[in-house]
Structure 1
Amino acid sequence: MPQARLDARTLFISDIHLGSKDCKAEFLLHLLKRVDVKKLYLVGDIVDFWAMKRQIFWPAPHHQVIQQILSMARNGVEVIYIPGNHDEVMRKYRHPDVASIRIQRQAIHTTADKKRLLVLHGDVFDAETCHSKLLSFVGDHLYDFLLWLNRQTHRVRNLFGHNYWSLSAYVKSQIGKAEEVIGHYRAAALRETNKRGLDGIVCGHIHHPELVESDKLLYANTGDWVENCTALFESHEGELSLMNYTLSDAKPARFSRRRQRSYNNAA
């Protein structure tokens, strides 16, 4: 039985990390084939050139994700690509239309209910938040091991018919230092939003999906497709929803909305 189409005004995704062994390209491809949107924002780290410098890894699903995005652009979806730090080589391309995709450093998105949102990857806040040290409390090698363990856990769960669950994201959530750095990052993003006189910000970069309101400012982090498999949707009425997409492409898709919390003290 065919699955129902997903209809939205805008889709925001980031931190796909195509070219990395940890990318969950199959989940994203399944989502992109089901969704009908007018505008698609690619909010950085779409292709992981850092990982590909270490080892060339480009399986069919990674190529198919790129082809699906290009197909969407050719068929009338407005695609805006905002490169991140892992694909910063693309930042030098400023032509307004490359393969029907617009490449730019940042954007101001106006929602259907007239809210103005700053859209950028988020590595610009590294100097303020020491995000480069986000994983220093466990060490780069231990984090790589966590991602490897995450892949093995996913394979075993898949064999037994269980949905995807991120072991690495769970471990990070249990470490207080990670929450502290995430809070600093959120606060820096909200300060920039306030300084520009905008209503909110959409970013990625730190692989921690969130949709919260602080002092009447909206903070939306799209998450990633390495650990969390999350995307931000805007409805035709302007409502934003952060959802995860973590079932096998052979099964009916399921979306769940993330719980919203207030972080007034963080800003």
Structure 2
Amino acid sequence: MKTHYKTLVISDVHLGTSGSKAKELVKFLKQCTCDKLILNGDIIDGWQLKKYGVWKRKHTRFFNRILKMIEQNNTEVIYLRGNHDDFLDQVLPFRMGSLSIVRDYVLESNGKKFYVVHGDIFDSITTNLKWVAKLGDIGYTFLLWLNSKYNYYRRKKGLPYYSLSQVIKSKVKSAVSYVDDFETQLAEIARIKDCEGIICGHIHQPALKEINGITYMNSGDWVESMSALTEDENGEWDLVYYADSKEENSIFTHTEFEPKSHDFSMENALEMLRKRIA
């Protein structure tokens, strides 16, 4: 039986890139229904497609799944532009039937208002983006490569998916500082918008927490984390992860997988990263 949600939020799928987990996302969507689906930016990676990205059949299947959700379940779909799919600026705002494409959105949930925005607005607020430069074109690509190799090893050992790249980023001091600043600033934006909460993406860092009296929620991504935000019929929010399992009824988990201590050497992984971005 499919799990039903009042609202489902996903972001940062980056269709058109080799790191996109489109296949896993389609499986995820097949196992649930929702009244409202929010695609919170960077669903399509226009930047990479302009350079050396490749549009694959699995990327098209994602949109086919969205169309089926609209047709079969009358799902309302709200697509917010991100910085990687900023080509949508040419058509904003757009509405056709159950599909809307907008820059930002205010969601009412359980008597509260949540400001929904991709989050790249923060990049114009701060200039402290040195870690992005380092973990960008070279470092971040290497992180994703390392993540894929590591999970290939885990699959051969019968172990579930684990985002090694997220763990490595959590050890980089400047990256942690950037995330903290991002979360604080986005929470303040919600306050300015007279909302009780913020729903965003952009930094590939799933979260659900309270920051200075504001509910901060980040849906994460479908490149590393494979995560989503969900709202049930009672207005309760949760952060769920896709579990790479052959059992269809076991593809949802509310906690991230923790690797066993002998699964990998964090010191070796960090050393590889330092050499790559030095």
Q: Deviations 1:18-42 (Å, cap 9, x if unpaired)?
A: 1110111122111111111100000
How many residues are treated as equivalent by the alignment? 254
1:130 Cα deviation from its structure 2 partner? 3.6
Q: Provide the secondary structure at the position in 2 that maps to 1:38.
A: strand
Whichever structure has more helix as a proportion of its residues is 2
Q: Provide the secondary structure at the position in 2 that maps to 1:117.
A: strand
Q: Matches of 2:156 and 2:117 in 1, distance apart?
A: 38
Q: Determine if contact 2:93/2:103 at 8 Å carries over to the other structure.
A: no
1:161 Cα deviation from its structure 2 partner? 2.1
- Please state if 1:151 is matched with 2:145: no
Query: How large is the RMSD of aligned CA atoms in angstroms?
Result: 1.8
Cα distance change, pair 163–102 in 1 and its aligned pair in 2 (3 A): same
Q: Identify the residue that residue 122 of structure 1 maps to in structure 2.
A: 119
Q: Identify the residue that residue 264 of structure 1 maps to in structure 2.
A: none
Letter in structure 2 aligned against 1:107: Y
Q: Identify the residue that residue 205 of structure 1 maps to in structure 2.
A: 202
Q: Identify the residue that residue 183 of structure 2 maps to in structure 1.
A: 186
Q: Matches of 2:206 and 2:174 in 1, distance apart?
A: 17
Q: Identify the residue that residue 16 of structure 2 maps to in structure 1.
A: 19
1:129 Cα deviation from its structure 2 partner? 3.2
- Please state if 1:225 is matched with 2:222: yes
**Unpaired runs of 5+ in structure 1?**
259-267
Cα distance change, pair 22–82 in 1 and its aligned pair in 2 (3 A): same
Q: Deviations 1:100-141 (Å, cap 9, x if unpaired)?
A: 411011100001x11100001010111223475442344631
Q: Determine if contact 2:240/2:252 at 8 Å carries over to the other structure.
A: no
Q: Determine if contact 2:75/2:98 at 8 Å carries over to the other structure.
A: no
Matches within 5 A, 1:79-158: 79-94=77-92, 96-98=94-96, 100-111=98-109, 113-130=110-127, 132-138=129-135, 140-158=137-155
Cα distance change, pair 254–139 in 1 and its aligned pair in 2 (3 A): closer
Q: Determine if contact 2:40/2:82 at 8 Å carries over to the other structure.
A: yes
Q: Determine if contact 1:49/1:87 at 8 Å carries over to the other structure.
A: yes
Q: Provide the secondary structure at the position in 1 that maps to 2:215.
A: strand
**TM-score normalized by the length of structure 1:** 0.89
Moved more, 144-153 or 175-184: 144-153
1:175 Cα deviation from its structure 2 partner? 1.1
Moved more, 115-124 or 240-249: 240-249
1:156 Cα deviation from its structure 2 partner? 2.5
Q: Provide the secondary structure at the position in 1 that maps to 2:121.
A: helix
Matches within 5 A, 1:53-72: 53-72=50-69
Q: Determine if contact 1:116/1:199 at 8 Å carries over to the other structure.
A: yes
Identity between Structure 1 and Structure 2 (%): 35
Q: Identify the residue that residue 176 of structure 1 maps to in structure 2.
A: 173
Q: Identify the residue that residue 41 of structure 1 maps to in structure 2.
A: 38
Q: Determine if contact 1:14/1:222 at 8 Å carries over to the other structure.
A: yes
Q: Matches of 2:231 and 2:75 in 1, distance apart?
A: 14
Moved more, 10-19 or 239-248: 239-248
1:144 Cα deviation from its structure 2 partner? 1.1
Cα distance change, pair 48–219 in 1 and its aligned pair in 2 (3 A): same
Q: Matches of 1:131 and 1:118 in 2, distance apart?
A: 24
1:143 Cα deviation from its structure 2 partner? 1.8
